[in-house]
Amino acid sequence: MPTDGNFLNNGLVDPYRNPHPHLSEVKKIYQSVGFKWETNSNYLIIENKNFFAPLEKVYLKWQLLEDGIVIQDGLAESVFIEAQAIEKFQPPIKTFSKEKEYVLLVQILTKEKIGLLEKNHELAFEQFVLQESNSNLISTNQKGRIKVKTKTDFYQIKTKNTDLRIDKSTGAIIHWSYRKKLITNQAMQPNFWRAPTDNDLGNSMHEWAIIWQDATSNLKSTLLKKPTKSNKGIAYTVNYSFPNNIAALSIDYTLSPNGELLVDYHFQALKDSLPNIPRIGVSLNLPNNYTTTSWYGRGPQETYWDRKTAGKIGIHKGKIEDQFHRYSRPQETGNKTDLRWMQLSSNLLNLLVQPTDGQLLNGSVWPFSTAELDFVAGKDGGISASGLVPVTSKHGAYIQTDKEVQWNIDHLQMGVGGDTSWGRLVHQEYTIPAKAYDYSFSIRPFLLVK
């Protein structure tokens, strides 16, 4: 029977009226209250955008966050603003420390039940980064013994607590443990692909960007520089060869004496007229005993480059099994933007990722691999009844979890678009042109303190 698959089943809510993550973004964009921050005077300007209705029966709540933790808060218990008018409010904010990040969260909430809205319902909010962090995110504790042993097929880099083994030929990680607890026995994989969203399929991303899917699957790694001592620990370089030599990629790895792994990523496109890249990043497969995550960035729902204003900046946490959304058709999900840090935890071990170059990260973690989400055409080539979108052979209900954990640590992921879902591309400012990209981060293992 002809079908358009999930074409009319991908709105703001699912068939059970559960909200999709993008509903929060629609609410944020449509909110009828505007906020501005006057830096020189420390005044908050509140604007009632309604043309006729006053802003009434509401109150203002504000919180000051220091590195993601609330350190000060307050209320303005009575707010009344005429239609198309503004009011000013000055929260009594404390003096800032030099190396900390400070974010101001302001909210307008209902004072009482109004129609369908419950008391304390959030009508509108905004956040302002009042001071960015100036702290050095690389660990300063580089003391301790570190050595390299040459084995038949691999190099072993050891510190007091860390055992890192890399293949002599490819440079791929074959074993990485901390205090005899396994982190991974798989290579860190450069990643240029994402499972197509509904909008991606509508503009045929699975066809025009297939060169980057092939690159992700067919990269060949070579140990370019064997492990040698540096001022930060033991460093080595892995070079990655692309099919048809379309690009160049090298990654410098440094294991420090305290067990922290520094990753310095350098990408350069080599061909003209290459299509935009869906993603610039790496993925790391971990055992499924990693079950929880926390992060300092936007959340708690998934956010993307062009769909993140509804994500509140702060420290969020949850189970890894809850870090994806079961869309009717499996697709890219669970991204987190503007990451200052991200952490995964097992019952004994933590892994903490932080950018080391001042560029905020993107990241996600799933209890499965990308293959569970990737597009597989339906029968007859996946042609739909209308011809507007291809039809998949997968359903979100059938995503299999718990086999492994995939951690995506990304520099960039292109936006998700949405002008239409049958052809319009992501806006240019949220795309990733094929050119040079560099980013760096660290992964620090440490024991869980009970």
Domain for residue 6, yes or no? no
Its domain, for residue 44, covers 31-131
- What CATH number is attached to the domain comprising 89? 2.60.40.10
Calpha distance 42→131 (Å, rounded): 13
38 and 160 in a single domain? The answer is: no
245 and 329 in a single domain? The answer is: yes
Q: Which of 131, 157, 179 is the last residue of a domain?
A: 131
Domain for residue 15, yes or no? no
- What CATH number is attached to the domain comprising 154? 2.70.98.10
376 and 263 in a single domain? The answer is: yes
Residue 105 CB neighbour total at 10 angstroms: 18
| 3-state SS assignment for residue 202 | helix
Domain for residue 17, yes or no? no
76 and 169 in a single domain? The answer is: no
Domain for residue 14, yes or no? no
HEC string of 169-201 equals CCCCEEEEEECCEEEECCCCEEECCCCCCHHHH
Calpha distance 240→266 (Å, rounded): 10
175 and 309 in a single domain? The answer is: yes
Q: Which of 107, 131, 155 is the last residue of a domain?
A: 131
The C-alpha R_g of the chain, in whole angstroms, comes to 24
pLDDT of residue 5: 76
| 3-state SS assignment for residue 409 | strand
User: Per the structure block, which two tokens stand in for 261?
Assistant: 């792994």
170 and 81 in a single domain? The answer is: no
362 and 400 in a single domain? The answer is: yes
Q: 260: burial class by Cβ within 10 Å (0-12, 13-18, 19+)?
A: buried
250 and 195 in a single domain? The answer is: yes
pLDDT tens track, the chain, 450 positions: 666 778 777 789 988 899 999 999 999 999 999 999 999 999 999 999 999 999 999 999 999 999 999 999 999 998 999 999 999 999 999 999 999 999 999 999 999 999 999 999 999 999 999 999 876 555 555 678 999 999 999 999 999 999 999 999 999 999 999 999 999 999 999 999 999 999 999 999 999 999 999 999 999 999 999 999 999 999 999 999 999 999 999 999 999 999 999 999 999 999 999 999 999 999 999 999 999 999 999 999 999 999 999 999 999 999 999 999 999 999 999 999 999 999 999 998 999 999 999 999 999 999 999 999 999 887 655 567 777 778 778 888 899 998 899 999 999 999 999 898 889 999 999 999 999 999 999 999 999 765
Domain for residue 350, yes or no? yes
Domain for residue 11, yes or no? no
| Contact present, 238 and 282 (Cβ < 8 Å) | no
| 3-state SS assignment for residue 216 | helix
The predicted-structure confidence for 44-60, as pLDDT tens digits, reads as follows: 999 999 999 999 999 99
100 and 192 in a single domain? The answer is: no
212 and 237 in a single domain? The answer is: yes
| Contact present, 351 and 183 (Cβ < 8 Å) | yes
| Contact present, 173 and 353 (Cβ < 8 Å) | no
Residue type for position 150: T
Residue type for position 445: P
Domain for residue 141, yes or no? no
pLDDT of residue 330: 94
Q: Which of 105, 131, 157 is the last residue of a domain?
A: 131
322 and 214 in a single domain? The answer is: yes
Find how far residue 300's CA is from the centre of its chain.
11
What's the CA dihedral at 203, 375, 26, 367 to 10 degrees? Answer: -150
Domain for residue 93, yes or no? yes
Q: What is the number of structural domains in the chain?
A: 2
235 and 282 in a single domain? The answer is: yes
pLDDT of residue 20: 94
